Amino acid sequence: MNSRFTNPSMDEIRTLLRRIKTIAVVGLSASPRRPSHGVAKALQGFGYRIIPVNPALSEGLGEKVYPSLRDLPEPVDLVDVFRDPSHVAAIVDECIDLKLPALWLQDGVIDSTAALRAQAAGLTVVMDRCIYRDYLRLVA
């Protein structure tokens, strides 16, 4: 296995962003000032279904919020993570256990070991990139 994590190509990221419909946003904040809130709201505006994941909230962006990925009521196409890198390994474990297809780790959310483990399990993984900026650049 490659010991260094490499993001998918820009073409692969564009294809991913065009293919996905439902996004679980792990770490969604209730505060409009937080990047997770602004990005998730923008993704809703682009037409994606957002399912927030945060054990501290019950509602966010007009959606019911779920405490964990394991509690989601429906399959998701992508897990978008706004959490401290120390939480990534456990999130990857959940994604692998739930056989989720893709994982996006936002700017500054870096855990190469966990990202490589997710890739090895068959997930498409994007790390240390902003899904909002990439959508605007590659899809809009």
Residue 89 phi, psi dihedral angles, 5° rounding: -60, -45
The matching CATH number, chosen from 3.40.30.10, 3.40.50.620, 3.40.50.720, 3.40.50.1820, for 10-138 is: 3.40.50.720
pLDDT in tens, 1-41: 457 999 999 999 999 999 999 999 999 999 999 999 999 99
pTM listed for this prediction: 0.96
pLDDT tens digit string along 87-131? 999 999 999 999 999 999 999 999 999 999 999 999 999 999 999
Q: Is 109 exposed, middle or buried (0-12, 13-18, 19+ CB in 10 A)?
A: buried
E strand map for the chain? 22-26, 49-53, 59-60, 63-64, 78-81, 102-105, 124-127
Enter the tokens of residue 132.
């909002």
Give residue limits of the domains in the chain: 10-138
Nearest residue to 117 (alpha-carbon basis) of 139, 98, 95 = 95
How many beta carbons lie within 10 A of that of residue 102, not counting itself?
20
